[in-house]
Amino acid sequence: MNCLEIVNLRVSVGGKTLFKGLDMTIPQGAVHAVMGPNGVGKSTLAAVLMGHPSVTVEEGSITYCGQDLLAMDTTARARAGMFLGFQHPVAVPGLKISEYLRSLHTKHHGAALGVKEFRKFIGDLLQDVGLPRTVLARDLNEGFSGGEKKRFELVQLSVISPKLVILDEIDSGLDVDALARVKTIIARASEAGATILIISHYKRLLDLLAPEVVHLLLEGQVVQHGGLELVDAIDKGGYGAFRIGATV
Protein backbone atom coordinates (compact mmCIF):
# COMPACT_ATOMS: atom_id res chain seq x y z
CA MET A 1 0.00 0.00 0.00
CA ASN A 2 1.19 3.51 -0.77
CA CYS A 3 1.36 6.00 2.07
CA LEU A 4 1.49 8.97 -0.28
CA GLU A 5 0.60 9.29 -3.96
CA ILE A 6 0.90 12.63 -5.75
CA VAL A 7 -0.43 12.79 -9.31
CA ASN A 8 -0.05 15.69 -11.79
CA LEU A 9 0.19 18.26 -9.02
CA ARG A 10 0.08 21.89 -10.13
CA VAL A 11 0.29 24.58 -7.45
CA SER A 12 0.95 28.30 -7.17
CA VAL A 13 2.06 30.65 -4.41
CA GLY A 14 1.21 34.32 -4.66
CA GLY A 15 0.23 33.87 -8.30
CA LYS A 16 3.54 32.20 -9.21
CA THR A 17 3.30 28.64 -10.52
CA LEU A 18 5.82 26.31 -8.88
CA PHE A 19 4.73 22.79 -9.75
CA LYS A 20 3.82 21.90 -13.33
CA GLY A 21 2.63 18.33 -13.08
CA LEU A 22 4.55 16.83 -10.17
CA ASP A 23 4.25 13.07 -9.63
CA MET A 24 5.56 11.13 -6.63
CA THR A 25 4.69 7.86 -4.91
CA ILE A 26 5.97 6.76 -1.51
CA PRO A 27 5.12 3.25 -0.25
CA GLN A 28 4.02 2.81 3.34
CA GLY A 29 7.01 2.45 5.66
CA ALA A 30 9.56 3.67 3.11
CA VAL A 31 12.26 6.30 3.57
CA HIS A 32 12.39 8.74 0.63
CA ALA A 33 14.16 12.05 0.05
CA VAL A 34 13.59 15.15 -2.07
CA MET A 35 16.52 17.17 -3.38
CA GLY A 36 16.71 20.29 -5.52
CA PRO A 37 18.27 23.78 -5.61
CA ASN A 38 17.02 26.74 -3.61
CA GLY A 39 13.70 28.16 -4.76
CA VAL A 40 12.59 25.06 -6.64
CA GLY A 41 9.69 24.36 -4.27
CA LYS A 42 10.92 21.76 -1.79
CA SER A 43 9.47 23.60 1.21
CA THR A 44 6.36 24.37 -0.84
CA LEU A 45 5.86 20.63 -1.26
CA ALA A 46 5.90 20.25 2.53
CA ALA A 47 3.43 23.13 2.84
CA VAL A 48 1.10 21.54 0.28
CA LEU A 49 1.16 18.24 2.13
CA MET A 50 0.21 19.91 5.42
CA GLY A 51 -2.43 22.16 3.85
CA HIS A 52 -0.84 25.60 4.27
CA PRO A 53 -3.31 28.29 3.10
CA SER A 54 -0.64 30.24 1.18
CA VAL A 55 -0.45 27.46 -1.43
CA THR A 56 -3.15 27.13 -4.10
CA VAL A 57 -3.63 23.70 -5.64
CA GLU A 58 -4.70 24.29 -9.23
CA GLU A 59 -4.78 20.70 -10.47
CA GLY A 60 -3.92 17.15 -9.48
CA SER A 61 -4.52 14.83 -6.55
CA ILE A 62 -2.80 13.70 -3.37
CA THR A 63 -3.82 10.46 -1.71
CA TYR A 64 -2.66 9.73 1.84
CA CYS A 65 -3.23 6.20 3.17
CA GLY A 66 -6.22 5.83 0.87
CA GLN A 67 -7.74 9.22 1.77
CA ASP A 68 -8.14 12.33 -0.38
CA LEU A 69 -5.60 14.56 1.35
CA LEU A 70 -6.75 17.74 -0.39
CA ALA A 71 -10.21 17.31 1.15
CA MET A 72 -8.71 17.44 4.67
CA ASP A 73 -7.80 20.59 6.60
CA THR A 74 -4.48 20.90 8.41
CA THR A 75 -5.88 19.76 11.76
CA ALA A 76 -7.40 16.65 10.19
CA ARG A 77 -4.09 15.84 8.51
CA ALA A 78 -2.25 16.09 11.83
CA ARG A 79 -4.86 13.91 13.53
CA ALA A 80 -4.47 11.38 10.72
CA GLY A 81 -0.82 10.94 11.67
CA MET A 82 1.09 13.49 9.59
CA PHE A 83 4.00 15.41 11.12
CA LEU A 84 6.05 18.23 9.63
CA GLY A 85 9.42 19.20 11.06
CA PHE A 86 9.69 22.84 10.01
CA GLN A 87 12.64 24.39 8.22
CA HIS A 88 12.30 27.44 10.48
CA PRO A 89 10.45 26.50 13.70
CA VAL A 90 8.82 29.49 15.38
CA ALA A 91 8.92 30.53 19.03
CA VAL A 92 5.68 30.70 21.03
CA PRO A 93 6.20 32.93 24.08
CA GLY A 94 3.99 31.99 27.03
CA LEU A 95 3.62 28.32 26.07
CA LYS A 96 5.63 26.23 28.54
CA ILE A 97 7.39 23.29 26.91
CA SER A 98 6.46 20.84 29.68
CA GLU A 99 2.76 21.68 29.34
CA TYR A 100 2.92 21.60 25.58
CA LEU A 101 4.55 18.16 25.42
CA ARG A 102 2.13 16.71 27.95
CA SER A 103 -0.86 18.04 25.99
CA LEU A 104 0.68 16.81 22.73
CA HIS A 105 1.13 13.29 24.08
CA THR A 106 -2.41 13.12 25.49
CA LYS A 107 -4.01 14.36 22.25
CA HIS A 108 -2.19 11.84 20.08
CA HIS A 109 -2.34 8.83 22.39
CA GLY A 110 -5.69 9.36 24.10
CA ALA A 111 -4.51 8.85 27.68
CA ALA A 112 -2.38 10.93 30.02
CA LEU A 113 0.75 9.41 31.53
CA GLY A 114 1.31 9.66 35.27
CA VAL A 115 3.60 12.46 36.41
CA LYS A 116 6.62 10.23 37.15
CA GLU A 117 6.12 8.16 34.00
CA PHE A 118 5.82 11.29 31.87
CA ARG A 119 8.94 12.84 33.39
CA LYS A 120 10.97 9.73 32.61
CA PHE A 121 9.52 9.46 29.09
CA ILE A 122 10.34 13.08 28.25
CA GLY A 123 13.68 12.98 30.04
CA ASP A 124 14.76 10.03 27.93
CA LEU A 125 13.70 11.80 24.71
CA LEU A 126 15.59 14.96 25.65
CA GLN A 127 18.68 12.89 26.35
CA ASP A 128 18.31 11.18 22.97
CA VAL A 129 18.51 14.52 21.14
CA GLY A 130 21.07 16.15 23.42
CA LEU A 131 18.85 18.72 25.14
CA PRO A 132 18.98 19.32 28.93
CA ARG A 133 15.92 18.75 31.13
CA THR A 134 16.00 22.47 31.99
CA VAL A 135 14.35 23.26 28.63
CA LEU A 136 11.07 21.96 30.09
CA ALA A 137 10.75 25.15 32.12
CA ARG A 138 11.23 27.37 29.05
CA ASP A 139 8.67 28.67 26.57
CA LEU A 140 8.35 26.85 23.24
CA ASN A 141 11.49 27.58 21.17
CA GLU A 142 11.96 30.89 23.01
CA GLY A 143 15.64 31.81 22.98
CA PHE A 144 16.58 28.53 21.27
CA SER A 145 19.44 28.40 18.80
CA GLY A 146 18.71 27.07 15.32
CA GLY A 147 20.18 23.70 16.25
CA GLU A 148 18.17 23.51 19.48
CA LYS A 149 14.97 24.19 17.56
CA LYS A 150 15.73 21.32 15.17
CA ARG A 151 16.50 18.99 18.08
CA PHE A 152 13.19 19.91 19.69
CA GLU A 153 11.38 19.09 16.45
CA LEU A 154 12.72 15.55 16.92
CA VAL A 155 11.39 15.46 20.48
CA GLN A 156 7.92 16.38 19.21
CA LEU A 157 8.17 13.72 16.50
CA SER A 158 8.97 11.10 19.14
CA VAL A 159 6.10 12.21 21.38
CA ILE A 160 3.56 11.99 18.55
CA SER A 161 4.73 8.74 16.87
CA PRO A 162 3.28 9.79 13.48
CA LYS A 163 2.48 7.67 10.44
CA LEU A 164 4.08 10.11 7.96
CA VAL A 165 7.13 12.16 8.93
CA ILE A 166 8.10 15.12 6.71
CA LEU A 167 11.41 16.72 7.65
CA ASP A 168 12.17 20.01 5.93
CA GLU A 169 15.95 20.55 6.07
CA ILE A 170 16.24 19.06 9.55
CA ASP A 171 20.03 19.07 9.07
CA SER A 172 20.43 22.86 8.86
CA GLY A 173 22.12 24.23 11.97
CA LEU A 174 23.15 20.79 13.25
CA ASP A 175 26.68 19.61 13.89
CA VAL A 176 28.02 16.11 13.17
CA ASP A 177 27.06 14.75 16.59
CA ALA A 178 23.52 16.10 16.24
CA LEU A 179 23.17 14.50 12.81
CA ALA A 180 23.94 11.13 14.37
CA ARG A 181 21.09 11.77 16.81
CA VAL A 182 18.81 12.55 13.87
CA LYS A 183 19.69 9.15 12.43
CA THR A 184 18.79 7.44 15.71
CA ILE A 185 15.39 9.14 15.96
CA ILE A 186 14.51 8.54 12.31
CA ALA A 187 15.59 4.90 12.49
CA ARG A 188 13.37 4.43 15.55
CA ALA A 189 10.37 6.01 13.78
CA SER A 190 10.99 3.90 10.69
CA GLU A 191 11.23 0.70 12.73
CA ALA A 192 7.87 1.61 14.29
CA GLY A 193 6.34 1.68 10.79
CA ALA A 194 6.43 5.38 9.97
CA THR A 195 6.91 6.60 6.40
CA ILE A 196 9.71 9.17 6.14
CA LEU A 197 10.09 12.01 3.62
CA ILE A 198 13.32 13.97 4.00
CA ILE A 199 13.84 17.32 2.25
CA SER A 200 17.54 18.15 2.12
CA HIS A 201 20.37 19.69 0.11
CA TYR A 202 23.13 17.71 1.65
CA LYS A 203 24.80 14.40 0.95
CA ARG A 204 26.02 13.98 4.54
CA LEU A 205 22.53 13.55 6.01
CA LEU A 206 21.29 11.36 3.18
CA ASP A 207 24.31 9.11 3.46
CA LEU A 208 23.43 8.62 7.13
CA LEU A 209 19.73 7.95 6.57
CA ALA A 210 20.14 5.95 3.32
CA PRO A 211 16.76 6.64 1.69
CA GLU A 212 15.48 3.95 -0.67
CA VAL A 213 14.53 6.56 -3.28
CA VAL A 214 15.68 10.12 -3.93
CA HIS A 215 13.39 12.40 -5.98
CA LEU A 216 15.12 15.24 -7.82
CA LEU A 217 12.88 18.30 -8.11
CA LEU A 218 13.69 20.76 -10.90
CA GLU A 219 11.65 23.20 -12.99
CA GLY A 220 8.37 22.29 -11.34
CA GLN A 221 8.67 18.54 -11.82
CA VAL A 222 10.39 15.47 -10.47
CA VAL A 223 12.90 14.98 -13.26
CA GLN A 224 14.64 11.90 -11.91
CA HIS A 225 14.35 9.21 -9.26
CA GLY A 226 17.31 7.25 -7.95
CA GLY A 227 19.19 5.98 -4.93
CA LEU A 228 22.34 7.20 -3.22
CA GLU A 229 24.11 7.12 -6.59
CA LEU A 230 21.91 10.07 -7.60
CA VAL A 231 22.98 11.93 -4.44
CA ASP A 232 26.62 11.25 -5.34
CA ALA A 233 26.12 12.53 -8.89
CA ILE A 234 24.49 15.74 -7.65
CA ASP A 235 27.21 16.26 -5.07
CA LYS A 236 29.94 15.90 -7.70
CA GLY A 237 28.39 17.74 -10.63
CA GLY A 238 25.57 19.93 -9.32
CA TYR A 239 22.04 20.16 -10.69
CA GLY A 240 22.81 21.54 -14.14
CA ALA A 241 23.18 18.21 -15.91
CA PHE A 242 19.73 17.12 -14.74
CA ARG A 243 17.79 20.10 -16.03
CA ILE A 244 15.21 19.40 -18.68
CA GLY A 245 16.86 19.50 -22.09
CA ALA A 246 20.39 19.46 -20.68
CA THR A 247 23.06 17.58 -22.62
CA VAL A 248 25.97 15.75 -21.04
Q: What is the DSSP string of 62-129?
A: EEETTEEGGGS-HHHHHHTTEEEE-SSPPPEEEEEHHHHHHHHHHHHHSSPPPHHHHHHHHHHHHHHH
The pLDDT > 70 percentage for the chain reads: 98
DSSP string, 117-170: HHHHHHHHHHHHHT--GGGGGSEETTT--HHHHHHHHHHHHHHH--SEEEEEST
pLDDT (0 to 100) of residue 246: 59
Give burial (CB, 10 Å; 0-12/13-18/19+) of 53. Answer: exposed
Q: What would the pLDDT profile of 17-76 be if each residue is shown by its tens digit?
A: 889 899 999 999 999 999 999 888 999 999 999 999 999 999 999 999 999 999 999 999
pLDDT for position 46: 95
Counting every residue, how long is the chain?
248
Task: Enumerate the β-bridge partners of residue 165.
Answer: 83, 196
pLDDT in the model for residue 245: 61
Q: What is the rounded CA–CA span in Å between residue 31 and residue 136? A: 31
Residue 139 scores a pLDDT above 80:
yes
Which amino acid, 116?
K
Residue 112 has pLDDT above 80, yes or no: no
Give the model's pLDDT for residue 248: 47
Mean pLDDT within 226-233: 95
Question: What was the pLDDT predicted at 171?
Answer: 84
> Quick check: 183 and 129 in contact, CB under 8 A?
no
Kindly tell me if the per-residue pLDDT of 247 is higher than 60: no
pLDDT at 244: 66
On average, the pLDDT of the chain sits at 92
Q: pLDDT per residue over 209-224, tens digit each?
A: 999 999 999 988 999 9
Burial code (b: 16+ CB inside 10 Å, e: under 16) for 210-242 equals ebebbbbbbebbbbeeeebebbebbeeeebeeb
164-205 pLDDT tens trace: 999 998 888 788 888 888 999 999 999 999 999 999 988 889
The tens digit of pLDDT for each residue in 21-33 reads: 999 999 999 999 9
Q: Which CATH superfamily is domain 2-87+162-242 in?
A: P-loop containing nucleotide triphosphate hydrolases (3.40.50.300)
**Where do the structural domains in the chain lie, given as residue ranges?**
2-87+162-242
Exposure string of 136-152, with b = 16+ CB inside 10 Å and e = fewer, is bebbbbeebeeebbbbb
